[in-house]
Amino acid sequence: MDNRQDTKLVSGVFYQLSPKRESFQNQSRTWWIIFIIVVGGSLVLLAGLFLLAAQSISQIGIQVVLITFAIAICMMIILSIKDLKIEDGTLTTARGYALFIVMCVVAALILIPLSLVFLPLDSLTFWIATVGGGLTLSFTGLMIRDFYPELRERGTAGILTISGLLIVFAIVYMTFLAPFITPYLPFSINVGPVLDPPSSEYPLGTTALGQDLLSRVIAGGATMLQVAAISVAVCFTIGVPVGLLASFRGGLTDRVLSLVMDSIFAFPGLVLAIAIAAMLGPGAVNMAISIAVVYIPSYFRVVRSQVLTVRELPYVEAAVVMGARDRDIMFRYILPNVLPSAVVVMSINFADAVLTAAGLTFVGLGLPVDIADWGWDLTSGRNQMIVGAWWVSSFPGLMVVILALGFTLAGDGLNEILTPKLQE
């Protein structure tokens, strides 16, 4: 119990790796390698962040970064106090988390007027950057602190989840702060020579329009993340319940819904997305909707087939015999056993959505040219490959790959953790 409290207070990766004087000498070589990678990696990332912030075009990069850190530290303190209260027995767990969410909202509400007072012109961007970045950092901290000790016991799956989520959170944080840490404006053209290879002044080179690629890489995640998040959320909230309903009801409902879904599924995905996007017009939300429509059937089919299997299992019959209602059976027995498959589809879906979004931008149905977007750079860079400008599509492409990798790792790890059977 004592040990556990210790982990609660200084826990997470940093507890596991914390240098204890007496144990410093007798650590294994693996431990040292991991220690150096984790600590060195964090330091490099932090140094890079502050360097970028110091040299940013916005002049207040350092301040913004510091504010996000301040928010995160406040959150962690609140969480620690909450945990102490829970251990005292004065608070229940559910109430503790409710309180945490309330504190998040209060912090956001305090920051709005503050930002309005100090920065009347750029207030909304500032507010989004600081609150968004701060919350992302807080959640990262929360994850490391609360879930790391538990996830560690799950072995590889836990490590996978944590690394996947860390990648995703890092990209989200970067995207939130983008307006304040980019060295140049990502969309202004001719900030430097056209197609300049990576140099000290333009670390990732410049595009065919003379834009700074580093700025575009930092800022370009916004659309991708928005599109991926919205489309996956829409897919999930429509596909899973519809699949559940169809297979649970059976009969005519099932036949009609399956027919509709199959006919959507029969179209080639990208072609259908292009058709819908062309109908709706360009824009992030429209892109998300067109991608969502394409991927709903995959959720539907996975959930439906899973429900058909699970529904016939004896434990569902046992639930019927013990007098459970239909909705109890659906939500307590069938849905939890089906969700892991849906989560796996989701993790693949995230990566797919990112790639489809890039595809939509490619055919000109994505976003206006003046918005920084990895998909756009990937596309335009393709033409410059011939003249040897490899950097224009390489770096945005790398970011797409890293983001997709993060989602996939997180999805895979979560799947294993959410299915107790696989623990064996």
Partner 1 sequence: MTDNVPLVQVKNLKKYFPLTGGVFRKVLGYVRAVDDISFDIVKGETLGLVGESGCGKTTTGRTLLRLIPPTSGTMIFEGQDISELKSKEMRFLRRNMGIVFQDPMASLDPRLTIKNAVGEPLLVNGIARGYGLRQKVIELLNKVGLNEDHLNRFPHEFSGGQRQRICIARALALNPKLVVMDEPTSSTDVSVQAQTLNLMKDLQKEFDLTYLFISHNLSVVKHMSDRVAVMYLGKIMEMTPRDIFQEAMHPYSAALVSSVPVPNPEFRGRAAILSGEVPSPINPPTGCRFHPRCRFAKEVCKDEVPDLRDMGDGHLVACHFAGELDLDYKAQIEAQEATITGR
Member of 5, 325, 331, 382 binding partner 1 (CB under 8 A): 325
For 117-146, the three-class secondary structure string (H helix, E strand, C coil) is: HHCCCCHHHHHHHHHHHHHHHHHHHHHHHH
Q: How far is the CB of 316 from partner 1 (least distance, A)?
A: 8
Q: How far apart are CA 327 and CA 223, in angstroms?
A: 38
Member of 317, 331, 383, 398 binding partner 1 (CB under 8 A): 317
Name the residue nearer to partner 1 (CB basis): 23 or 263: 263
CB neighbour list of residue 311: distance below 8 Å, 6 or more residues apart:
247, 248, 334
CA-derived radius of gyration, the chain: 24
- Interactions with partner 1, residue window 353-372 (CB under 8 A): none
Name the residue nearer to partner 1 (CB basis): 245 or 272: 245
CA nearest to 49, candidates 136, 178, 169: 178
Q: How far is the CB of 420 from partner 1 (least distance, A)?
A: 5
Site string for partner 1, 394-423 (x = CB under 8 A): -------------------------xxx-x
Contact status, residue 204 vs residue 381, Cβ threshold 8 Å = no
Q: How far apart are CA 147 and CA 167, in angstroms?
A: 16
Q: How far is the CB of 251 from partner 1 (least distance, A)?
A: 10
Q: How far apart are CA 195 and CA 208, in angstroms?
A: 5
As a 3-state breakdown, the chain gives helix, strand, coil percent values, each rounded to 5, of 80, 0, 20
Name the residue nearer to partner 1 (CB basis): 266 or 321: 321
Scanning the structure block, which residue is given the tokens 């290879």?
197
- Is 318 a binding residue for partner 1 by CB under 8 A? The answer is yes
Q: How far is the CB of 307 from partner 1 (least distance, A)?
A: 14
Name the residue nearer to partner 1 (CB basis): 150 or 370: 150
Task: Give 179-242 as a DSSP string.
Answer: HHH-SS-TT-S-SS-TTPPS-SSSTT-B-TT--BHHHHHHHTHHHHHHHHHHHHHHHHHHHHHH
Member of 10, 124, 313, 398 binding partner 1 (CB under 8 A): 313
Q: How far is the CB of 368 from partner 1 (least distance, A)?
A: 47
Q: Which stretch binds partner 1 (CB under 8 A): 120-128, 268-276, 320-328, 364-372?
A: 320-328
- Is 322 a binding residue for partner 1 by CB under 8 A? The answer is yes
How many residues touch partner 1 under the rule CB under 8 A: the total is 21
Name the residue nearer to partner 1 (CB basis): 259 or 386: 259
Q: Which stretch binds partner 1 (CB under 8 A): 99-107, 189-197, 227-235, 330-338?
A: 330-338
Member of 113, 315, 363, 387 binding partner 1 (CB under 8 A): 315
- Is 324 a binding residue for partner 1 by CB under 8 A? The answer is yes
Q: How far is the CB of 340 from partner 1 (least distance, A)?
A: 9
Q: How far is the CB of 423 from partner 1 (least distance, A)?
A: 8
203-211 contacts at long range (C-beta below 8 A, 24 or more positions apart): 204/391, 204/395, 205/389, 205/391, 205/392, 207/377, 207/380, 207/381, 207/384, 207/392, 208/380, 208/383, 208/384, 208/389, 208/392, 211/184, 211/186, 211/187
- Interactions with partner 1, residue window 337-356 (CB under 8 A): 337
Name the residue nearer to partner 1 (CB basis): 154 or 216: 154
Q: Which stretch binds partner 1 (CB under 8 A): 64-72, 139-147, 289-297, 317-325?
A: 317-325
Q: Which helix (H) or strand (E) holds 8?
A: helix 2-10
Q: How far apart are CA 261 and CA 301, in angstroms?
A: 8
Name the residue nearer to partner 1 (CB basis): 31 or 331: 331
Q: Which helix (H) or strand (E) holds 279?
A: helix 269-280
Residues in the chain: 424
- Is 281 a binding residue for partner 1 by CB under 8 A? The answer is no
List interacting residues with partner 1 (CB under 8 A).
Answer: 313-315, 317-325, 328, 333, 336-337, 419-421, 423-424
